[in-house]
Structure 1
Amino acid sequence: MSNLQELLAQQSALIKQAAELEKQVAEARRAERANVIAQIKTLLAENGLTVADLGVKAGGKTGGSSAAGQKVAPKYRNAATGETWTGRGLKPKWIQAAIAAGKTLEDFAI
């Protein structure tokens, strides 16, 4: 059976080896990424395409893949004032007042 000093030395060597392997993995990832980027650039140039043609937004998201931040078409319109509401969130005051006056949402549907 090994004594404590030997085990601590082995642990230290393994930690050092793990750190070196992590560096190697990070370098391999950087090299692979650079290779993929070069391939993509070549394909874009060969086919006369731009990044905009891919429909990719910052962060690698494709257009339409996320509803966050997208505008929604209005579903209701006040014919008297032209105000609109998408039907999301709290009801605007003009809708609340109209409903209190006896109208329905369907009266304002676009």
Structure 2
Amino acid sequence: MNLKELLAAKAALDAEIATARKGESAAALRRVQELVSEFGFTMQQVFPLVPLKDKNAGEAKYQDPDTGKTWTGRGKPPTWIVGKNREDFLIVQPEHESHQRAPYLAEMAAAAGRNERPC
């Protein structure tokens, strides 16, 4: 087959695919409608609203003590922090529990090496 014949065959296949898709999608839609009707599903159950997560949003790094508004430190600074020392607005993050327990675990490992009980 030459290029012209292949393109013609491709066009014919694309047309067949479109026809098959249209027929099968109509049948699928009828089936979905039957199921929704049979079980009494609501629109919310069929299409639950899932909030979109902002991929660019980061964790808040600064907070205005007067209003409680926060800023990640990215983008244009809010008016409440412009011209001020940003360190004064830093949000103090609590240490994770694993960090707080680390010294105790280190003591246990050291005691195990000495065959002692930790204090």
- TM-score, normalising length from structure 2? 0.52
CA offset at residue 19 of structure 1? 1.6
Where relative contact order (Cα < 8 A, 6+ residues apart) is larger, the structure is 1
Identity of aligned residues (%): 20
Query: Counterpart in 2 of 1:103?
Result: 88
Residue 17 of structure 2 is matched in structure 1 by 25
Taking the aligned partners of 1:24 and 1:43, their CA distance within structure 2 comes to: 29
Shift in CA distance, 76/49, structure 1 to aligned 2, threshold 3 Å:
farther
Q: Where do residues 70-109 of structure 1 align in structure 2 (5 Å cutoff)? A: 77-80=63-66, 82=67, 84-87=69-72, 89-90=74-75, 91-99=77-85, 103-106=88-91
Structure-2 change in CA distance of 1:30 and 1:24 (3 Å):
same
- After TM superposition, where is structure 1 displaced by more than 3 Å over at least 4 residues in a row? 10-15, 71-77
Point out where structure 2 has 5 or more consecutive residues left out of the alignment. Answer: 93-119
Q: Residue 49 of structure 1 aligns with which residue? A: 41
Residue of 2, 26, 37 corresponding to 2:29: 37
CA contact (8 A) 1:74 1:84 kept: no
Q: Cα deviation per residue 1:21-43 (whole Å; 9 max; x = unaligned)?
A: 21011110111111111111111
Unaligned 5+ segments in structure 1 are 1-6, 58-62
Whole-angstrom distance in 2 between the partners of 1:20 and 1:104: 66
Structure 2 CA distance, aligned partners of 1:72 and 1:49? 37
> What letter corresponds to residue 23 of structure 1 in structure 2?
A
Q: How many residues matched?
A: 90
Instruction: Give the secondary-structure state (helix, strand or coil) at the position aligned to 1:30.
Output: helix
Distance (whole Å) between structure 2 residues aligned to residue 56 and residue 11 of structure 1 = 48
Q: Assess, with a 3 A threshold, how the Cα gap between structure 1 residues 76 and 11 changes in structure 2: closer, same or farther.
A: closer
* Residue 50 of structure 1: how far off its partner (Å): 2.4
| Contact 2:61/2:72 (8 A) holds in 1 | yes
CA RMSD of aligned residues (A): 3.5
